Structure 1
């Protein structure tokens, strides 16, 4: 008997989402409507029927031992402000919230850094010639990073300095990189890539990471029941672990991927569900790791597989991406993005997705349920990321057989083309985007071929054409209106002459809204930024890659410091960070390594710390005193952007560049004087 019948209560029908209220994207609205017509549940409907736990949102629910969960509501704080709330063991709200926050940091660090380890293993395998599917595509970048890993790129023979063999360098770089995850002594080598004053802050505060894995284990140990019970000390370890992500695992992943797959440079492609084609085999790659998707790109473009698709009645093979696997193949091959995190179910609901190939992170388990309603083959590829439903095909990826694995996957998709139903509905919406702005590409476009630095960017910040820099990252969150906060914050920033560096699903949202084209500058930017974009030929929002590529933002900030004129540390820069619609533990790790690197960082959906006001304040003012960066939470997107602009203005004033400067035409005599 239904429990509601037993108690004579009417059974409530599940609520469904109002498509107009949950997203600003037209294609997403169309597909939500189609899903509801077909009776297919999506994340948007589930968000209507499941509300978050109020105490969990505040971060003061402890469940790390069997005596809990211990729930500490804010309503129990005494009217005079005295906080006597305690768990069964006596843990205070500050301790509980700090432990929960730290475990989110550990989860985020583990995800990004394990991605990096996987790349390092494949890199070393390629360097050792254990596989012929991967080769060194960017030897120049290999040489550029070798020194940071203490690998010599030259050798002295008979008193003459000669270049070392590139294969020898690659092997030693791979070995040195892998060593960063588990070495016994020392500190992470990439930390010295930060500005010297920042490195000294880390050293003085005792947060230099020792190795990547150890910092994750350290958090899990100290947050076990009865270990670390000082929120300040717990936060210190959060910084050490987060830095091991941003300046360690993630940065190594980005560098090694660039060497192995090619360093991105700007290219044109498209974004949104409208990139799918009714008369083509549609394969969607989804997740975060590019090793397999690189091979899928190659196989799907091969003459052999294209002929096979024609034999099966298709006119070709259309590859598209979801989330950061999308960004990886987009920035190197121009593969269009089908959408971001909240659109993954909708790609299947088009009825045109012949295979969705997933690796790790941000994969809905409900994809299997949606796939049952259509012909789509859902294919998992990673041994640590399986889905329990019986309609999921598992083809495990092995870098030694990468091409064969990719051929199996693409062939399965092509074979499935003939199993499509007749009701295919692909939205018309898609937008052009220019993506692929690596640090090297930004340096080229804003520094010039011969200058080879960020001098021109700095010069335009100093003269006021560009007010400052914003780094916008992060996910989508079904608790916020899909893409609205991303786009509102960015439009307010660029309207006020703040250039935006973007990654992850934020970049996909911008692409779908047409903000990743040079032409968008004239429509949305203030006069200074619009002038720079028109002169250089760049969009006002620079797509810098996947979420693991947030390390590019750290290096770009360091390059700005190095170019001079804007202080000596990242915390001196007119720079702010933002995650308007964050969702993942990775975002907490990212936010914390930005804060610990000196960046004022605003999150648009509250972090789970508000139930412990003292700890919450420590993440703000306390972190600012230590590192120059701080956490801030602002849910209203206009106020969110204005706080960032206010911070940028404050930094401009501190640098003495807040006054408008008269533009002077420099003559030849003036140039000669400068040269002297």
Structure 2
């Protein structure tokens, strides 16, 4: 299964790259030209360039090779690592701020958007400390107000941080890392790591932890939750992925949406169905408008509307090289400047839509949150005008698409496990306790031209074969989809215990949970698993682990840090940005576990990843005392009478589908 799918994919990509002229430089060609070994000082974190006396290449333990100011290897490496965290946190959080502004405008009637999905309105109200007995309109106003305040607040504690398990919150308070306001943590960390400020590497790394938490439990979580209100809470949906005829259609006007802003892509999907736009498309000989996703914008529209995804970050050049894309619309993050050069070889127009993300040589059409359909129609009309310019001799669309099931939001998983009125992680917890499922692993993050693209897939296959349920987001999710792991048929690859559970609920062994900001869904899921009971009282106790095998972006570092600071062990590869400083690496890999229960690890290949991840899961099972099969207990009538009837009184700690769960603490204790 794996070999055939990946060989077909590799062959397709190679053929499309080969169709370009030799003088056209692509990302893979640049990797070859630059050589296989990057600068070891920069790669290992010991190059300091924050002032004009440097850059200083620092060697650990060598007095003469400290920075000119005397900065040690640990100080330099901690600063560089922290600045990667702050870069990633700022990207996710600026995205979250845009969503919060759009949400505020929408609930105040100042936008063409609407609040489409209110099913978890009172759950979010409860999480933010809003009186759930208020009217629906008043709750929406207060959510909009608090969401915006989270960015600018100067003191106190970030509201969504109170969703974390109580023992974890106490650790954050004890070590001074409970985030205050999103912007405050980002600005303070940048200041702290400037010339001549904080030079205690442990203090710098703890400040980086606080900044990352402001991302995971702040900016990213705000983005995910408010996007669910505006666009709908994702539910399992069947769709297609990969570059192929079912994704890119030769008889339609093809518009690729690339980046991370789902509001733009949603508006384009609505406008594409407008009779006026369809009529305009038919006038130039096309049947209509076809949207194809790329990267995380693709994930967002895939899991909500079933719009197919052509590729991940790695495939953005190749999508254009099909010769059948009229317009590629980009918003923010992970956009290669080189796509403009690739587009020059075809009729494709590159359109930027966000003032933060401009490309020289592209057309800029600002996306107006207040009038999204107007912006979308203007873009689609430009795409229609490009269609007659398409050169049929340059069109190369392979027939190589894969069926997937995507859209497993936290609520959707709980619904599948427990049904409408008993939505809960309880069946999952029970099957982890009884050993049918050994644990849960998240494989997330980017893909990288310097890494074999099958690495993530090989790790996932080994984990599910060992009865580990896999969650995935971002570009990793697209790779899983292309490999066939997001389809129910992949259940054949699962171990017998995991397979039994998946067959009962009808789910694939790898669950697509969304884009990179949606890693916050995994935080909520792990919290809800803790609150469900039976697996400890804090996230670090869970038989759970995370991995980013092909990380590329600063955002991945921020994501990894907020998971570590929330109690999860996270494995990165094939390298790590602090490797040239033993002190910093030892702190992040070992000492930090004494603070939060989570830690970093590094792996170079699939076997190393799987061994580290399985070791963590098995260690946590031993600590919980669930590493051995439990004897079955047959209840007599006296034991049954001792069980109290459950009562519908407990609000969900997390995000339950309807906001209330059965109170079963005494029943659970007796069982």
TM-score by length of 1: 0.91
Q: Could you tell me how far 1:307 is from its partner in structure 2? A: 2.4
Aligned-residue offset at 1:668: 9.6
1:533-582 CA distance string (max 9 Å, x none): 11110011110000000000000000000000000000000000000100
Q: Identify the residue that residue 160 of structure 1 maps to in structure 2.
A: none
Are 1:60 and 2:54 matched, yes or no?
A: no
Kindly provide the CA deviation profile for residues 474-513 of structure 1, in whole angstroms up to 9, marking residues without a partner as x: 001111112x111011011101000011100011111111
- Answer yes or no: is the 8 Å Cα contact 1:502–1:541 preserved in 2: yes
> Are positions 1:337 and 2:316 aligned together?
no
User: Which residue of structure 2 aligns with residue 357 of structure 1?
Assistant: 329
After TM superposition, the structure 1 stretch with the greater mean CA deviation from structure 2, 530-539 or 27-36, is: 27-36
Alignment of 1:305-384 (within 5 A): 305-384=277-356
After TM superposition, the structure 1 = structure 2 runs for residues 518-667 of structure 1, keeping only pairs within 5 Å, are 518-522=488-492, 524-661=493-630
Offset of 1:669 from its aligned partner? Answer: 9.6
Please say if 1:438 is aligned against 2:417.
no
Is the aligned partner of 1:139 residue 2:139? no
Equivalent residue, structure 2, for 1:7: none
Contact 1:27–1:428 (Cα < 8 Å) also in 2: no
Is 1:24–1:481's contact at 8 Å kept on the other side of the alignment? no
The residue number in structure 2 matching 1:269 is 239
How far apart, in 2, do the equivalents of 1:206 and 1:44 lie?
Answer: 44
Q: Contact conserved, 2:212 with 2:562, CA < 8 A, in 1?
A: yes
Where does structure 2 lack aligned partners over 5 or more consecutive residues? 646-671
Match of 2:132 among 124, 131, 153: 153
Q: What secondary structure sits across from 1:153 in the alignment?
A: coil
Seen in structure 2, the aligned counterparts of structure 1 residues 519 and 87 have a Cα distance that, compared at 3 Å, is same
- After superposition, the CA RMSD in angstroms is 1.8
Distance 1:112 1:395 in 2: 22
Q: Which residue pairs with 1:110 in the alignment? A: 90
The alignment partner of 1:286 has SS state of strand
* Contact 1:282–1:320 under 8 Å retained in 2: yes
Q: Is the 8 A contact 2:438 2:468 kept in 1?
A: yes
- Confirm or deny: 8 A CA contact 1:464 1:661 kept in the other structure: no
Q: Distance in 1 between matches of 2:373 and 2:10?
A: 34
Structure 2 distance, partners of 1:87, 1:296, is: 51
1-side partners of 2:207 and 2:19: how far apart?
50
Return the offset for 1:410: 1.1
Deviations 1:309-368 (A, max 9, x none): 222111232211011000111111110111100000000000011110000000000000
Superposed counterparts of 1:122-133, under 5 Å? 122-131=102-111, 133=112
Question: Is the contact between residue 473 and residue 516 of structure 2 (CA under 8 Å) also seen in structure 1?
Answer: yes
Query: Counterparts of 2:84 and 2:103 in 1: how far apart (Å)?
Result: 29
How far off its partner does 1:94 sit? 0.5
Report SS of the residue matched to 2:469. Answer: strand
Q: Is 1:474 aligned to residue 453 of structure 2?
A: no
Structure 1, unaligned runs of 5 or more? 1-20, 156-163
Q: Is this contact kept in 1: 2:491–2:499, CA < 8 A?
A: yes
Which residue matches 1:186?
Answer: 156
Stretch of structure 1 that moved more, 576-585 or 654-663: 654-663
CA contact (8 A) 2:472 2:511 kept: yes
- Counterpart of 1:195 (choices 149, 165, 168) is 165
- Equivalence for 1:89: 69
Cα offset, 1:34, TM superposition: 3.2
CA 1:471–1:84: 2 relative to 1, 3 Å: farther
Aligned to 1:301: 273
8 A Cα contact 2:491 2:502, kept in partner: yes
Separation in 1, partners of 2:428, 2:210: 31
Task: Quote how far apart the aligned CAs of 1:27 are.
Answer: 3.1
Question: Does the CA-based 8 Å contact 1:31-1:349 persist in structure 2?
Answer: no
Looking at structure 2, the residues matched to 364 and 592 of structure 1 have their Cα atoms a distance apart, in angstroms, of: 25
Q: What's the secondary structure of 1:493's corresponding residue? A: helix
- 2:385 & 2:301 partners in 1: Cα distance? 23
Give the distance between the partners of 1:305 and 1:244, measured in 2 at CA.
Answer: 42
